[in-house]
Amino acid sequence: MKKVYILSGLGADERVFRYLDFKDLDVTFVQWINPLPNESINHYAQRINEQIKHKNPILIGLSFGGIMATELAKIIRVEQLILISSLKTRAEIPVVYRLAGWLRLHRLIPYSFLKKDHSLNRWLFGVIRKNDKDLFKRVLADTDIDFLKWAINCIVKWNNTQLHHNLFHIHGTNDKLLPIRKSGKVIPIKDGGHLMVLDKAKQVSEVLHQII
């Protein structure tokens, strides 16, 4: 049985994967830990690596979890690196995000607004169904603001240029947060939004099993 470690999105947890089919896979969900003051993403990856107990595992990362999985794959040997609704390299970060990082505009973001359940957030993340809206609201409420600030800073300043030798990138064609046109080579999910692991779980599960 394949050993799989899964990293969720920014501030989220395993709840967002509840519709995915992980049959025949030995799955462990990596838990986010509190970042240290001014901690680099590389140093954070080394600390979170303490949760990886198997050699040569498969890593699956959703959104920011994909960035962290990429950093993990630099310090440990992994059989496969699978990204969902994420980024492979700095070149795929939308220009407006990179500009915000360069000008430090992201520090002016009203982070309490990002934690609220409102129509703009639901539109950006592609949350449509009633059950998904309820889950999204709970996940937002549980997101730690300090972690949110740290992670957004990591995203806009991420400078990775390396591609793992066994990398797969699954991306929705209707992702508003990370438009697919910037995503390079991907396995597209038709009409999938940023949180397509919820409403496109069947399609994403099928692709995962084809890859693994």
Classified as helix, coil or strand, 51 is helix
pTM, to two decimals:
0.92
Residue range of the domain that includes 117: 2-211
Nearest by Cα to 28 from 18, 47, 14: 14
**Which residues pair with residue 84 across a beta bridge?**
62, 170
Classified as helix, coil or strand, 27 is strand
CATH number at residue 137: 3.40.50.1820
Query: How many structural domains are present in the chain?
Result: 1
The lowest-confidence range among 88-97, 163-172, 184-193, 199-208 is 88-97
For residue 92, what pLDDT is reported? 93
Tens digit of each residue's pLDDT (9 = 90 or more) over 41-61: 999 999 999 999 999 999 999
